[in-house]
Amino acid sequence: MARRATLRASDEDRDQIAERLRKATGEGRLLAEELEERLEATFSARTYGELDAVVADLPGVTTARRRERPRPLAPGPINVIALLILAPVIMSLMLAAAVIVAMVFSAWGALLIVGWLLFGRGQRSCWGPGRHYRRSLHTASQWPARRAPRPWI
């Protein structure tokens, strides 16, 4: 890649250097005669090396272009008002989402409870050794008699 000093300068670069020279004159760093000489040299310069030589003894920013970065928003009254308005809205949306998620996952439990209440609560079954019947199907007179416990031998 070519060195910066040998690259050709644009009209915008020359205008920036001229503005820098005018600013230096306003600060008292240059005399009016020096300003005229340097402005002539600036507008006749073809490369960055020639432009750098014109402002080499002046303090300030280099002639390389710097891209301005976007500044972060400063907290002003409008930002604070927007934050006060949007914070409850965002919180309520998050709460609504949490409730919906909880309802979706708890719906299966609710279905199980409703199913047990509708279909399983009234029927009592007795599943013991040798008993494979439901008591709700038999009347009290049909129940088999209880056996006496066996004595220990």
Give pairs for 85-92: CB < 8 Å, separation 24+. Answer: none
In a domain, 68, yes or no: no
Handedness of CA 81, 84, 90, 93 (dihedral sign): negative
58 in Cβ contact with 29 (< 8 Å): yes
Res. 40: pLDDT tops 90: yes
Number of domains present in the structure of the chain = 2
pTM above 0.85, yes or no: no
In a domain, 65, yes or no: no
Q: What percent of the chain has pLDDT over 70?
A: 72
Tokens of 147: 């056996």
Q: Which of 24-38, 73-87, 125-139 has the lowest mean pLDDT?
A: 125-139
Tokens of 49: 């090396």
Regarding whether 85 and 47 lie in a shared domain, the answer is no
Regarding whether 48 and 11 lie in a shared domain, the answer is yes
In a domain, 133, yes or no: no
In a domain, 132, yes or no: no
Q: Which domain holds residue 93?
A: 81-122
Mean of the per-residue pLDDT values for the chain?
A: 77
